[in-house]
Structure 1
Amino acid sequence: MRMDINCDMGESFGAFRMGNDYEILDYVTSINVACGFHAGDPMIMRQTVKRAIEKGVKIGAHPGYPDLQGFGRRNMDFTPEEIYNMIIYQVGALRGFVDVEKTELHHVKPHGALYNQSANDSAKAQAVIDAVYDLNPKLKLYCLAGSLIAKLAREKGLTVFEEAFSDRNYNEDGTLVSRSNEQALITNEDEMFEHVKGILLSNEVRTIQKKVIKINAQTLCIHGDGAHALQFARRISELDGFLFD
């Protein structure tokens, strides 16, 4: 199968710098740009957009909860209306920079806790879907492979890229292992490579419960804030025969 390789980027903020964004752009086909709520700021957003254009990489918005201290990874209790409005606000901000640079926004991928909470909660999922659709029904939605939100988004008429993760472990129900669990992250390069090969070659992953489950994905994520992100991106590029055109 062919696979889009995406990476979360633009997550620096003010004087705080995170990740190896510019270097990783050589190894991915799409990026998810932080929109200021969980990370990022106007300077970083525009710089990231310009660099992605320079490298010919597709640009997506990465809206999250308003949680700078928790990097958007803490569960928060927002109503569907609040979720809808915060997505409109954040994607609209990034789209302004995209428009100024005379290019197009390719997709929207919720970040962190918003991504996980909306994956299988019908009310939160519908809020995300409606926001993306109302902004532009041609936008793609990146979401967890096998999730309820993927099903509902297709029913709405959105193009969905179901997502697998190169650097995260899975539970047997197809959800990601919580970051509070010491087994959540894959940090060993060889382990990551075998994990990714399973996704690409067999559409499957081995869960922390030692069960092999099927996973049907069209995009593979590398977390840009991960300690081994650039190293992992380079290694995954060795499988470039599987990259999405």
Structure 2
Amino acid sequence: MDLNSDLGEAYGAWRMGDDEAVLDVVTSANIACGFHAGDPVTIHRTARAAISRGIAIGAHVAYPDLRGFGRRHVALTPEELTADVLYQLGALDALATAAGGRVSYVKPHGALYNEMAVDESLARTVLTAIAQFHTPLPLLTLPGSAAGRVAAELGIHCYTEGFADRAYTDDGQLVPRGQPGAVLTDPDAVAARVVRMATEATVVTASGSVIDVELATVCIHGDTPGAVRIARAVRDALRAANVDLAPFVSDVGADTRS
């Protein structure tokens, strides 16, 4: 099982989370690309720290929404969204390459991620942009999502993701953050549900129902209160359950392009 986290989200004087501590636990890092969070120094520093630990780097692309942290819809034309995605991929790729590594996958952030899960047209625009990038990159998305279906059509490899610290609806979507109970912060409870995801491929929804969740990776949000304690509790619980932790992508490491 892979553990991923959204990192590199500080911006100037605005600090976000404890990236160094989280990087000591997770196996993949979704690094902000400057549109919802992340200034160039922070992005570069986070990439270096991930590479030094052998952690996979993913491009955490987002709508251009610094004020709303990428959690609001931004109306863009397909041309604008395509250019925005490619711009963000290129920025992170340059900084990761300079740090001696590479970008290994794409995980959209916030509103873009959630909307791609249900909107095939939007997903097709983003995935077409990813397909135009110089290196084929796989996508992280929810099981059964519209993005996953479009990725299969376009020949883009797709990995399915669960969320340790977010409540689920009965249809497998995430409970909106504005609703009570949407974000889970108890380390022991979160760790137990991740072990269930990893060993039984199921999760209990906010209503108490049980749904299937076949996963390659589980996300622990870096900005969730107590993120470091949660991450450590999850890691320790998975180890106790004899679940090995490793990046879900195999091409982790130095850039090998000629």
Q: Which amino acid aligns with 1:49?
A: A
Q: Which amino acid aligns with 2:118?
A: N
Using the aligned pairs only, state the percent identity.
Answer: 43
Q: Which residue, 236, 242, 245 being the options, matches 2:244?
A: 242
CA–CA separation in structure 1 for the residues paired with 2:217 and 2:158: 10
SS of residue paired to 1:130 = helix
1:161 to partner: Cα distance? 1.3
Counterparts in 2 of 1:105 and 1:139: CA distance versus 1, 3 Å: same
Alignment map for 1:27-176 (pairs within 5 Å): 27-136=25-134, 138-176=136-174
SS of residue paired to 1:146 = coil
CA–CA separation in structure 1 for the residues paired with 2:58 and 2:16: 18
Q: Which residue, 160, 179, 182 being the options, matches 1:184?
A: 182
Unaligned runs of 5+ in 2: 248-258
CA–CA separation in structure 1 for the residues paired with 2:149 and 2:244: 25
The equivalent of 1:229 in structure 2 is: 227
1:145-199 C-alpha deviation (Å, 9 max, x unpaired): 2211112112211121111000000000100000010121111122212211221
Q: Which amino acid aligns with 1:158?
A: I
The equivalent of 2:255 in structure 1 is: none
CA–CA separation in structure 1 for the residues paired with 2:73 and 2:181: 19
CA–CA separation in structure 2 for the residues paired with 1:53 and 1:244: 14
Greater Cα shift, 59-68 or 150-159: 150-159
Unaligned runs of 5+ in 1: none
CA–CA separation in structure 2 for the residues paired with 1:63 and 1:31: 13
TM-score with structure 1 setting the length: 0.95
CA–CA separation in structure 2 for the residues paired with 1:219 and 1:151: 18
Q: Which amino acid aligns with 2:202?
A: E
1:89-118 C-alpha deviation (Å, 9 max, x unpaired): 111111111122232211111000010011
The equivalent of 2:205 in structure 1 is: 207
CA–CA separation in structure 2 for the residues paired with 1:73 and 1:14: 20
TM-score with structure 2 setting the length: 0.91
SS of residue paired to 1:162 = strand
1:50 to partner: Cα distance? 0.7
1:137 to partner: Cα distance? 5.4
Greater Cα shift, 161-170 or 75-84: 75-84
The equivalent of 2:4 in structure 1 is: 6
Matched-pair contact (CA < 8 Å) for 1:146–1:215: no
SS of residue paired to 1:89 = helix
CA–CA separation in structure 2 for the residues paired with 1:242 and 1:127: 35
1:77 to partner: Cα distance? 2.2
CA–CA separation in structure 1 for the residues paired with 2:90 and 2:122: 19
SS of residue paired to 2:5 = strand
SS of residue paired to 1:242 = coil
The equivalent of 2:253 in structure 1 is: none
CA–CA separation in structure 1 for the residues paired with 2:219 and 2:66: 22
